[in-house]
Amino acid sequence: MTDEERVDFVRACLVDVLESLSETSAAEPVVLTTEPLDFDGVEGYEQAVRDEALTPAVNTVLREAETPVGVVVADLPLVTPDALERLFAPDADFVVAPGRGGGTNAFVTRVPEFRVNYHGTSFLDHVEKARELGASVDVVDSFRLSTDADEADDLVEALLHGEGRAAEFVRERFELVEDEERRVGVRRFDRQK
């Protein structure tokens, strides 16, 4: 993807997450962002503009929020209301959906003292931290919530399973290809055809 396409794709993912959240039992979502956002789909959503890195920004939110509080990353091209509802349904003190590669794609904490530290294998640290705080832990086994938008392979998943704007964005530009070894990838549509 071009840089411009990347931005548009991630924006589409964010709108998918917001629209999915709005169909769940969750309270009104707040968009945590480093600068005010203004594009189709984010109107009507409260924004918290924080000029910090991800970890301190989220921890400020956690310090100020009343529990239960949930944090969902914005780049989930397969997100659906049902997938998010599985994050909100359990009554464990800490409910978490791992991302592929050990990230933390979404969580809900009922423990006010919980703080994040985002990095590659943050999932393990977050579970450990929650347990240290005496929290019961529930891990949500969701393919949709585990799939973020980091790599070209993730576009394959968006094409195959996505149901929102992010998937539409990819489908307008890319198609699935299967090579001779029956591995699957994506390629840009040949506009010369």
Site for a second copy in 103-142 (CB under 8 A): 119-121, 123-124, 141-142
**Choice from 13, 18, 83, 87 touching a second copy (CB under 8 A):** 83
Cα 107 to Cα 23, 30, 103, 146: the distances in Å are: 17, 15, 11, 12
**Number of C-alpha atoms within 13 angstroms, CB side, residue 75?**
15
For 45, the 3-state DSSP assignment is: coil
Cα 84 to Cα 23, 132, 186: the distances in Å are: 9, 26, 27
Of 75 and 157, the one with the shorter C-beta distance to a second copy is 157
Write the DSSP assignment of 95-161 as a string of letters.
EEEEPTTS-EEEEEE--TT-----STTHHHHHHHHHHHTT--EEE---HHHH--SSSHHHHHHHHHH
Task: Tell the smallest beta-carbon distance from residue 99 to a second copy (Å).
Answer: 9
| Interaction between residue 175 and a second copy (CB under 8 A) | no
For 52, the 3-state DSSP assignment is: coil
| Interaction between residue 89 and a second copy (CB under 8 A) | no
Site size toward a second copy (CB under 8 A) is 29
- Which residue type, as a one-letter code, is found at position 28? E
The first and second tokens of residue 5, run together, are: 């396409």
| Interaction between residue 3 and a second copy (CB under 8 A) | no
**Choice from 6, 56, 91, 102 touching a second copy (CB under 8 A):** 102
| Interaction between residue 56 and a second copy (CB under 8 A) | no
Of 63 and 188, the one with the shorter C-beta distance to a second copy is 188
| Interaction between residue 49 and a second copy (CB under 8 A) | no
In the complex, the residues that contact a second copy under the rule CB under 8 A are: 82-83, 86, 98, 100-102, 119-121, 123-124, 141-146, 153, 156-157, 160-161, 176, 178-179, 182-184
